[in-house]
Amino acid sequence: MDRNRMIALLSQHEGRIGHVYKDSLGYLTIGVGHLVDERKGGKLPEHIIDALLDYDMAEHWTELLEKLPWVQNLDDVRQAVLLDMAFNLGVDGLLKFKNTLRLVHEADYRAASRNMLDSLWARQVKTRAVRLSRMMETGQWQS
């Protein structure tokens, strides 16, 4: 079978949509007719979830370094904290943490950690904020 012609045929019939949409029967679908609605057994395979995650992490990392190039000089754990926050808030949302970012840049990780916890974000994400603030303060991965 000609793969390219099959892709063109399915794309023509199913559409090629880069966001979740309801198909003609009202089931949640993405891409080229890929059913994700759990009511009908739809899902994303693990390798696709991993590929999306890799894509999203790379996008956020690139934007983070464009806007805060000094982040590349941090240790891996503190880079991970900022990338996690950027993933959660968007890079522009992370940039609103001006005092926290200043403290991280100055290597005052204890104060940055406290600042992280003293925010609306921390009250919203709770355990995530506690874990990330510990990582920021200690420079060690937390589970």
Percent of the chain with pLDDT over 70: 100
Look at residue 8 in the predicted model and tell me its pLDDT: 96
8 A C-beta contact, residue 17 and residue 30: yes
Same domain, 50 and 120: yes
For residue 114, the model assigns a pLDDT of 98
Question: Is-above-0.75 flag for pTM?
Answer: yes
CA distances from 107 to 75, 94, 132 (A): 11, 17, 16
Alpha-carbon torsion angle 21, 24, 25, 30, nearest 10:
-30
The CATH code of the domain that includes 133 is 1.10.530.40
Is residue 35 domain-shared with residue 77, that is, in the same domain? no
pLDDT interval class at 116 (50, 70, 90)? very high
- pLDDT tens-digit map of 18-67: 999 999 999 999 999 999 999 999 999 999 999 999 999 999 999 999 99
Query: Do residues 76 and 23 share a domain?
Result: no
Is 34 in the same domain as 62? Answer: no
Per-residue pLDDT at 139: 98
pLDDT tier for residue 124 given thresholds of 50, 70 and 90 = very high
Do 95 and 111 lie in a common domain? yes
